[in-house]
Amino acid sequence: MSFPLNKPDFVLAEVPPTSGPLTPAIDVGSDGVKWRQISGFIEVKPHVQEGPNATKSTSVRRIVSQGANYARLIMAARPFQLYVLCVFIYGHKFSLGWYDRRGVIISDDYDILDNLDILVNVILQLTTHMTTYQLGHDRSAHLLEGHSYYQYPSFLVSMGAAGDTRLWKTEGPPIWSSLSLLGRGTATWRAVSAENKPKKKEVVILKTLWRSQTRESESNVYGHIKSPLPGVAELSLGDDVCIPVAREAHARVTIGTLRSLILDDNANVPDDPVLHRLALKTVGRPLWDADTTNDFILGSLAALKGHQGLVEQGILHRDMSPGNIFVGSPGCEGFVADLELASVAQPETEAVVSLYPLSPSAGQLNTASGIFREEPVPSSSMAPGAEITGTALFMAEELLSMMLHPDKSKKKIRPVQIKREVHHDLESFILVLFYSVMKRGLERRLWHKNPDNEFQIQELYRTLFGGHTIRPIRQGRSYLFDESNPPVYLLDVLDAPTHNLLYGCWRLLKMQRSSNFPINERRAAVDRRMRWERGSEEPKLITYAQLYNIYDLALSRN
In whole angstroms, give the CA distance from residue 310 to residue 304: 10
pLDDT score, position 433: 97
147 and 86 within one domain: no
Query: Is 544 within 8 Å of 363 (Cβ atoms)?
Result: yes
The count of structural domains within the chain is 3
Out of 85, 104, 129, pick the residue that ends a domain: 129
pLDDT score, position 31: 61
* Burial of residue 281, with CB atoms counted within 10 A of its CB: 0-12 exposed, 13-18 middle, 19 or more buried: middle
pLDDT score, position 374: 31
Q: CA dist 304 to 397, 429, 528, 554, Å?
A: 20, 8, 24, 15
Looking at residue 392, the DSSP 8-state letter turns out to be: G
Nearest to residue 296, comparing CAs of 423, 441, 175?
Answer: 441
Out of 101, 129, 157, pick the residue that ends a domain: 129
| Largest interatomic CA distance in the chain | 77
455 and 353 within one domain: yes
252 and 231 within one domain: yes
147 and 77 within one domain: no
Q: What is the dihedral of CA 440, 442, 448, 452, to 10 degrees?
A: 130
Ranges of residues in the chain whose predicted pLDDT is under 70: 1-2, 16-31, 55-59, 162-163, 196-200, 246-247, 346-389, 405-417, 512-520, 523, 526, 529-539, 557-558
Query: Is 339 within 8 Å of 222 (Cβ atoms)?
Result: yes
498 and 370 within one domain: yes
Look at the chain and count its residues. Answer: 558
147 and 116 within one domain: no
- Give a yes or no: residue 313 inside a domain: no
In whole angstroms, give the CA distance from residue 387 to residue 393: 16
Domain holding 195, by residue range, is 141-283
230 and 205 within one domain: yes
pLDDT score, position 520: 67
496 and 360 within one domain: yes
In whole angstroms, give the CA distance from residue 156 to residue 148: 13
DSSP states along 186-231: -EEEEEEE-SS-SSPPPEEEEEEEEEPTTS--HHHHHTT-SS--TT
pLDDT score, position 399: 87
Give me the phi and psi of 89, to 5 degrees please.
Answer: -120, 130
pLDDT score, position 384: 30
157 and 77 within one domain: no
Give me the phi and psi of 174, to 5 degrees please.
Answer: -65, 150
The helix (H) or strand (E) run that includes residue 501 is: helix 496-510
- Give a yes or no: residue 335 inside a domain: no
- The residues, ordered by sequence, that sit 6+ positions from 551 with a Cβ below 8 Å of its Cβ are 297, 301, 304, 501
What pTM was computed for the model? 0.73
104 and 153 within one domain: no
Q: Which residues pair with 171 in a beta bridge?
A: 190
pLDDT score, position 402: 80
pLDDT score, position 91: 95
Query: Is 215 within 8 Å of 223 (Cβ atoms)?
Result: no
pLDDT score, position 398: 86
